[in-house]
Amino acid sequence: MRTKQFKSESKKLMDMMINSIYTHKEIFLRELISNASDALDKLYFKSLTDNSVGIAADDFVIRIELDKDARTLKVIDNGCGMTEEELDTNLGTIAKSGSFNFKNDNEKVEDVDIIGQFGVGFYSAFMVSDEVTVESKAFGSDGAFRWKSKGADGYTVEPCEKADVGTVVTLKIRESTEDENYDEFLDQYRISALVRKYSDYIRHPIKMKYTTKKPVEGKEGEYEDVVEDRTLNSMVPIWKKDKKDIKPEDYNNFYKEKFFDFTDPIKVIHTKTEGQATFSALLFIPEKPPFDYYTKEFEKGLQLYSRGVLIMDKCADLLPDYFSFVKGIVDSEDLSLNISREMLQHDAQLKLIAKTVEKRIKSELEKMLKSERETYEKFFSAFGVQLKFGAYDAYGANKDNLKDLLLFTSSHENKYVTLKEYTERMPESQTAIYYACGETREKIDVLPQTDTVKSKGYELLYLTDNVDEFALKMLGEYEGKKFVNVCDNDFDLGTDDEKKELTEKNEAAKDMLAEMKKTLDGKVNDVRFTGKLQNHPVCLTSEGGISLEMEKVLNSMPGAKENAVKATLVLEINAEHPITEKLKTLFDNDKDTFTKYTKLLYDEACLISGKGLDNALEHSNLVCELMM
C-alpha cells in the first residue's frame, strides 16, 4: 500500500495542527460533529426524493464512543459517507474556502490564530491525536474504505469492512504531557460538556453511552455502574429557544462562531413572527464592517432554514442593500425544503418574510438611536455610508424610509446630528438647512462661504463622505426645509435691500466684470460681486446643481474619463473688500496688471475651495512677477 502525500497547503495546515499551541484544542470535536451533521443532512435531503435510502428522519444519528484503555475517541455517523476518491480528495486536500491565506513556511507554527478565526475542519483532529482513521462507506457504493494518517508524512487509503453507509472517524488520543492534558478528551463528563457548549443546536441527536453510579437496591451503601444511552444535545437551534433561556454570551458565541467574527455584535435581534408569514429570525448587527464589506466580493444575505434545515447559505433576497451589513438566520415553516434558488426569488412567502425582516431591523435601529445614542453613533460610523447610499440609490425610492436614520456632523458642538434635531432647533429666521462639502471638517471650516452662516448662528452640516451630497440632493428637503449648499451660487442670506444694492454695484461694474470673465477664458461662467463673504476677497461657487464636490466624486468613478462632468463655476468677489477698489483703478489705468490680478484672484479662490490650481507653474510665475 502506497503512502500518499498531502497537497502542499494541506500539509502546512496539518503541520500547524500537529504543532499547535492553540489553547482551544477542544474545538476539534465541534468540527467533527459538524462534518457528521452535514453528512446526515446530505443523505436526509436525498431520502426526500429517493426511497432507496431507507432511513427514517428520526434515525439519523451521530454517535460518540470513548475507550479509555485504547485511548480512542470515535465520531460515528450514518450520513452520506465518502467513496475512495472522496476520501482522497476531501481529506488529502483542504477545501479552498478562501479562509486560508498561508504565509511563508517559517511562520507556520506560530501563526495559529487562524484556528480561532475560521472553521478549521477535519485537520483539527490532529491537535489532539497521534493517528486519525476514517472508515467510510458512501451511499450507493458497495465497498468501504479506510483512510489513515499519522500526520504530515502522508496518508493511506485501503479497502475495509463496513456494513452500513456512513462514516467512523477514530482519533487515537495523545498521551498527556506535563503541559497538556489530553486525557480529558476520553472523559464522558468533559465530552458531554463540550457537546453542549459547541454543538447543542445540531439538529440530529448526538448520542453517547453514559455511565452513572446508582445505589444497588436492597444493599445500603453499595453502588453499581449503570450504562445508558444519552442524547447529549438539546437539538433545539438557538433561534428556536425561548429568549429567557438564552444568555447574552450564548448569542455572542453563536454569532462569532457562525459568522467568523472576533468581536461581539453591537445588536442582537431575536424575533418570532406568526401570522401571514411564520418564521423565527436571529439577526446580528456587527460592530465593524468585515474587511471586504465595501468591495465587490462582499455578498449580502441571511442563512435561510426551513424547519431547522439549512436550505441556502446567503439568501440575498432577504435583505435590502442598505441593510446588507446584517448577518443572521431566518427559519421558516412555510418554505419547501427542495425549493430551487430561481423559484425562491419569486416566492411570495419569502418576499413577505423579507419585508417583515426589513421593518424589524429598521425599528430596532430607530430604537437604538433613541435610547442608546452612543451605540448608534458607533454603528453609524461603521455603516452609515451604506444607509446614505440607500437614501440615494434607486432614484430615492427608499429615502423616506431612511432619512430619520441618517446622521451628519455639524457645527453644533461638533457632534452627530439627525435631520430632525437640526430642524427642531433652527431659529425662526432660518429658512433652509445649510451644508458645505469637503474632505474634512477643518477644510470646510476655512471655506469663506461658511462665515455668514456661522455668524448668523445657523447650524452647518459638514458633508465629508462622497455619498453625502448625493443623498441630500435626493432627499431634496426635510420637513419642508430645503437643503442649501453654501457654496452654491444662489446661496445668499442678505436682506432685500442688500440684494438690491448688490445688483446696482454689479450693474455699475459691468464692463470690468465682463473683462475679468474674458480673461479667465472659459474657466468660469460668470464673475460677480457678492455680499456673502465676510473677510475674504473671493470665493468660487457653482450654479446648476453640480457642485465642485460632486464633480470630483463623479469624475473619480470608473469610466468617468470619457464623459467627465464639469461644475459650472462663478467667481464671486467680496463687494466690501478693498481689493474691489484696487481692481477698478487697475481696470481704468493698467490693463496688464489687471489681467494678472484677475488670474491670481481666481487661483486664490481655487485654492480655498479645495479645487486646487489649474496650472501651478503659471501661478508661481505670476506671484514672482508681482513680487518683483
Residues binding ligand ADP (CB under 6 A) = 31, 35-36, 39, 77, 79-82, 90-91, 95, 119, 121-122, 167
Identity of the residue, 35 or 356, whose beta carbon is nearer to ligand ADP in the bound complex:
35
8-state DSSP, 309: E
**Least gap, CB of 70 to ligand ADP (angstroms):** 21
**Least gap, CB of 240 to ligand ADP (angstroms):** 24
Identity of the residue, 81 or 205, whose beta carbon is nearer to ligand ADP in the bound complex:
81
Identity of the residue, 158 or 507, whose beta carbon is nearer to ligand ADP in the bound complex:
158
Identity of the residue, 35 or 192, whose beta carbon is nearer to ligand ADP in the bound complex:
35
Identity of the residue, 61 or 487, whose beta carbon is nearer to ligand ADP in the bound complex:
61
**Least gap, CB of 72 to ligand ADP (angstroms):** 16
**Least gap, CB of 344 to ligand ADP (angstroms):** 24
Q: In 3D, which of 259, 268, 255, 276 has the Cα closest to residue 360?
A: 268
Identity of the residue, 97 or 371, whose beta carbon is nearer to ligand ADP in the bound complex:
97
Identity of the residue, 76 or 419, whose beta carbon is nearer to ligand ADP in the bound complex:
76
**Least gap, CB of 39 to ligand ADP (angstroms):** 3
Identity of the residue, 39 or 509, whose beta carbon is nearer to ligand ADP in the bound complex:
39
8-state DSSP, 488: B
Contacts for 155 with CB less than 8 Å, ≥ 6 apart: 3, 4, 6, 91, 92, 147, 148, 149
Contacts for 543 with CB less than 8 Å, ≥ 6 apart: 488, 489, 490, 525, 526, 568, 570
Identity of the residue, 167 or 595, whose beta carbon is nearer to ligand ADP in the bound complex:
167
Q: 319 near 300, Cβ under 8 Å?
A: yes
Q: In 3D, which of 153, 179, 156, 136 has the Cα closest to residue 25?
A: 179
Interatomic CA distance for residues 403 and 401, integer angstroms: 6
Identity of the residue, 139 or 254, whose beta carbon is nearer to ligand ADP in the bound complex:
139
Q: Where are the beta strands (DSSP E) in 373-466?
A: 408-410, 416-417, 432-437, 460-463
DSSP letters along 365-377, please?
HHHHHHH-HHHHH
**Least gap, CB of 473 to ligand ADP (angstroms):** 47
Q: 260 near 327, Cβ under 8 Å?
A: no
Which of helix, strand or coil describes residue 497?
Answer: helix
**Least gap, CB of 136 to ligand ADP (angstroms):** 6
Rounded to the nearest 5°, which phi and psi values hold at 464? -115, -10
**Least gap, CB of 40 to ligand ADP (angstroms):** 8
**Least gap, CB of 463 to ligand ADP (angstroms):** 45
Q: In 3D, which of 556, 626, 576 has the Cα closest to residue 598?
A: 626
Identity of the residue, 87 or 606, whose beta carbon is nearer to ligand ADP in the bound complex:
87
What's the Cα-to-Cα distance from 305 to each of 246, 261, 312, 336, rounded to whole Å? 20, 21, 7, 10
Residue 580: count of CB within 10 angstroms of its CB = 17
Interatomic CA distance for residues 301 and 314, integer angstroms: 4
**Least gap, CB of 43 to ligand ADP (angstroms):** 9
Identity of the residue, 185 or 602, whose beta carbon is nearer to ligand ADP in the bound complex:
185
Strands 267-273 and 206-215: unpaired
Which of helix, strand or coil describes residue 291?
Answer: coil
What is the CB-side half-sphere exposure of residue 453 using CA atoms within 13 A? 28
The three state secondary structure string of 42-100 is HHHHHHHHCHHHCCCHHHCCEEEEEECCCCEEEEEECCCCCCHHHHHHHHHCCCCCCCC
**Least gap, CB of 126 to ligand ADP (angstroms):** 11
Identity of the residue, 119 or 494, whose beta carbon is nearer to ligand ADP in the bound complex:
119
Length, in residues, of the chain: 628
Identity of the residue, 90 or 489, whose beta carbon is nearer to ligand ADP in the bound complex:
90
Interatomic CA distance for residues 198 and 258, integer angstroms: 11
What's the Cα-to-Cα distance from 603 to each of 398, 527, 625, rounded to whole Å? 41, 14, 15
Interatomic CA distance for residues 437 and 553, integer angstroms: 11
Identity of the residue, 233 or 356, whose beta carbon is nearer to ligand ADP in the bound complex:
233
**Least gap, CB of 125 to ligand ADP (angstroms):** 9
Sign of CA dihedral 295, 299, 301, 305: negative
**Least gap, CB of 94 to ligand ADP (angstroms):** 6
**Least gap, CB of 437 to ligand ADP (angstroms):** 47
What's the Cα-to-Cα distance from 240 to each of 141, 243, 481, rounded to whole Å? 37, 9, 47
Q: Give the CB-nearest residue to ligand ADP.
A: 121
Give the three cell numbers for residue 146.
479506510
Q: Where are the beta strands (DSSP E) in 177-287?
A: 206-215, 223-231, 267-273, 279-285
**Least gap, CB of 309 to ligand ADP (angstroms):** 17
